Structure 1
Amino acid sequence: FQSYVNFSFQPPAFLMIGIPGMEAFNGWISIPFFSMYTVALTGNCLILLAVRRTPSLHQPMYYFLSMLALTDVGLTLSTLPTTLAVLWFDHRLIGFNACLVQMFFLHSFSVVESSVLLAMSFDRFVAISNPLHYAAVLTNNVIIRIGMAIVARATVSLFPVPFLLKRLNFCPGKILLSHSFCFHADVMKQACADITVNIFYGLYVVLSTVGVDSLLIIMSYTLILHTVMGLASPRERLRTLNTCVSHILAVLVFYIPVIGVSMIHRFGRQLPHIVHALVACVYLVIPPVLNPIIYSVKSKPIKKAMLKVLRAKGQG
C-alpha cells in the first residue's frame, strides 16, 4: 500500500519544456511565434468581417470559409496563452485539469477543421457537378445543420479523452511535456500505467475523423475531375478547376502536417525532441496563418472584401 501511495498519483501540474535545447533563445523565438499568431488572428478575423459585411459573399462557399476561419481562430487561441507564457515569461507550469481542458479544445478544433474542409469539398462537388441545383441543395438551413453536426462530431469524439487520462496514475516528480501546450500523445506517455486503452481510442478518433475525412475529400475530387474532364472546352476545364485551387491548398496545408505529426509520434521516437516540438508547432500554427493568405490571394471576391474592411477601419 505504501508503494502505491509513493508511486501512483495524479500530478497537480505539468512542466512544459517548450522547444528543447533552445531555452536561451526564447526571446528571439517568441518574435516569429508572436508574428504568426498575430497574422493568424488578424487574417481570420478579417475574413469573418468581410463575409459578414459583404452581401455578395452570403453564399454557401463563403459560409464554409467563415467556419474555417472561426475554427482557425479557436485553434490559435488554444495554444497562444501557454506558448507565449513559456517564451516570454518562462512560465512553464500548467495545472493538470487546465492541461486536459486545453488538450480537449486543441484536438476538438483540429477535428472541426478537418470536417469543415470535407464540407468545403462537398460544396465544390455540388457547385461543379450540379450547378443548377446548387442553391437548392446547400440552403442556409442545410449549412447550419452541417455546422452543428461538425461541432457535435468533434465534441462527442473527444469528450472521453480527458476522462481516459484522468483515470491513469502518474509517477511522482516533475512531469515534463515536450511542447508548450498539452498534446494528447505527449500527456499520455507521462503515465506510469497501462495506456493501451488510450492508445487505441486515440487511434480510433484519428481514423474515424481525420482519416475518414481525407478519404472522402479524395473521393470528392475524383468525382470533380471526372465531371471536369467531361467539359468540352479546355478553357472551361481550367476555369472550373481554378475555383478549387484555394481549397486544395488549404487541404494540403492541414493534412500534410497532420500526417507528419502522426508518423513522428508513432515511428520517430528516436528522433530528437526538438523535431517533435517543431512538427507539432507547424501542425497547429501554420494552417491558421496560411489559410487567410491563400484565400486572400486566390479568391478575388474575398480579397476585395477584406481590403474594403481594412479601408473602412482606416477611415474609422
Structure 2
Amino acid sequence: MYPPKQQRLNSQVFILSGFNETMNFRVPLFTFTLLYYCMILFFNVSLVLLIFLDENLHEPMYIFLSSFCINTIYGTTGFYPKFLSDLLRSSQTISYEGCLLQAFVIYSFVCCDLSILAVMAFDRYLAICRPLHYHSFMTKRRLSQLVCFSWLTPLCIFAINVLLTSRLKLCGINIQRVLCVNWLIVKLACPEAETFTNHIAAYATVIIYVSHGFFIMWTYTHLIKTCARSREDREKFMQTCLPHLTSLITFIVVIGFQSIYVQFEYTGFSESLKNFITVEILIIPPFMNPLIYGFKLTKIQNRILTLLKSYKKLTYIKFSLLKKTRVKCSIFL
C-alpha cells in the first residue's frame, strides 16, 4: 500500500535492506573490506604518484593511466566508506540526497572508466598504426581535450540522469541492495509518476557507451592487423596494448554479467549474490587494473624496481652507519 500523496515527498530516508544477510559475519566482513579498500587506495595512489613524480612517464599513455587510477579512487570512495560505516551500525539507512549522490558517483565512475579505455585505445592506435602523425596530433592541448572528454562526458550524462530521477515522486523507501543505484530508485516511483523520460535517457546513455565499445573494437581490429606485419610492432603491442586489452576484457565481462542480471532480474539468486553482482565493478577492476599495468608496462616496472633497489640501498647504508656508531660507543665505554 502506498502512502498518501501528501506524504510522497523526496525528503525521506532510504533503507538499504541488502545488509540483512551480513548480520552473522559483519566484523570479519568489515575487517576484510577495510584491508581490501586500503590496498585499492595504496596501489592506485602509488601509480598516480609514480607517474606524476617521474618526468620520463609524462607521456600520453601514462597520463591516461593516471586518469584511470584517479577515477578508480573517485568511484571506490563513493562506495567503500559508506559500506564500512553501515557494517558498524544497527540500521543501514541513507538520505535521499545521499542516495542520489552515490548513484551519480557509481554510474559516472563506470562510464568514465569506459571513456578512458576508449581514449587509451585511440592513443595506442595512433602510436602504432600512425606513428609518423602521432606527435603532431597528440599535443598537450589535444591530450587535455581527450582527458576532459573522458571525464566531462559521463559526468554530464549522469548529472542529467540523476536530475530526471530527482523529479520523480517516490512511494517506497526500501532499496534491496547495499548501495544506491539509479534504476532501483526509479523502480520506487509512484504508479502515476512519469518515468518515460528516465527510460529514454537510460537508452540514450546505453547507445552512447555501446558506441564507445564499437570504437574500441575498431581500433583493436586495426591494431592487430598492423601488429601482424612485423615483429617490432608485435612486441610493442605486447608491451603497451596487452595490459589495456586485459583491463578492457575484465571491464566488459563484469559489466556484461551485471547488465544481463539487470535485464532479466533472475529471482533465484541469494541476496548476497545479488549484492556481489551489483558491486563487482567496484571490487574486481579497481584492484586488478593497477596490478596489470604495474607488472606489464616496462617503464613502470623498471621505475618500481629502481625505487625498490634505492630503498634497499638506503636501508643498508642506515644499518651500516648504525652498526659503526654502536662499535664506536662500545670502544669509548
TM-score by length of 1: 0.89
- Indicate which of 282, 285, 288 corresponds to 1:284: 282
Question: Which residue of structure 1 aligns with residue 296 of structure 2?
Answer: 298
Contact 2:226–2:233 (CA under 8 A) maintained in structure 1:
no
- What CA distance in whole angstroms lies between the structure 2 residues aligned with 1:43 and 1:221? 27
Q: Residue 215 of structure 2 aligns with which residue?
A: 216
1:122 to 1:77, Cα distance in 2 relative to 1, 3 A: same
Give the structure 1 partner of residue 319 of structure 2.
none
State the TM-score, normalized to the length of structure 2: 0.85
Residue matched to 1:200: 200
Q: Is the 8 A contact 2:51 2:62 kept in 1?
A: yes
Q: Whole-Å Cα distance in 1 between the matches of residues 150 and 95 of structure 2?
A: 29
| Structure 2: 5+ residue stretches without partners | 316-333
1:190 corresponds in structure 2 to 188
The residue aligned with 2:157 is 157
The AA in structure 1 aligned to 2:41 is: L
Instruction: Tell me what 1:74 maps to.
Output: 74
Q: Displacement, 1:71?
A: 0.6
Aligned to 2:117: 117
Q: CA deviation at 1:308?
A: 5.0
Tell me what 1:263 maps to.
260
CA apart distance, 1:213: 1.2
- Tell me, yes or no, if structure 1 residue 239 matches structure 2 residue 235: yes
Q: Distance in 2 between matches of 1:21 and 1:222?
A: 45
Aligned to 2:5: 4
- Partners of 1:134 and 1:4 in 2: how far apart? 60
CA distance in structure 2 between the partners assigned to 1:310 and 1:87 by the alignment: 37
> Aligned letter for 1:13?
V
Larger Rg, first or second structure (1 or 2):
2
SS of the counterpart of 1:164? Answer: helix
- Write the distance in 1 (CA, Å) between the matches of 2:206 and 2:251: 14
| Residues 243-254 of structure 1: pairs in structure 2 closer than 5 A | 243-254=240-251
1:88 shift after superposition: 2.9
Q: CA deviation at 1:90?
A: 4.2
Q: 1:311 to 1:185 in 2, by over 3 A?
A: farther
CA RMSD of aligned residues (A): 2.3
Distance in 2, Cα, partners of 1:73 & 1:32: 18
Q: Which has the higher contact order (CA 8 A, sep 6+)?
A: 1
Task: Count residues in correspondence.
Answer: 308
Find the aligned partners of 2:20 and 2:268 in 1 and give their Cα distance. Answer: 12
**Corresponding residue for residue 55 of structure 2:** 55
Q: CA deviation at 1:254?
A: 1.5
Cα distance between partner residues in 2 of 1:39 and 1:23: 25
Deviation at 1:140, TM superposition (A): 1.5
C-alpha contact 1:112 1:151 (8 A) present in aligned 2: yes
Whole-angstrom distance in 1 between the partners of 2:268 and 2:153: 33
Give 2:135's aligned residue. Answer: 135
Residue in structure 2 matched with residue 226 of structure 1 by the alignment = 225
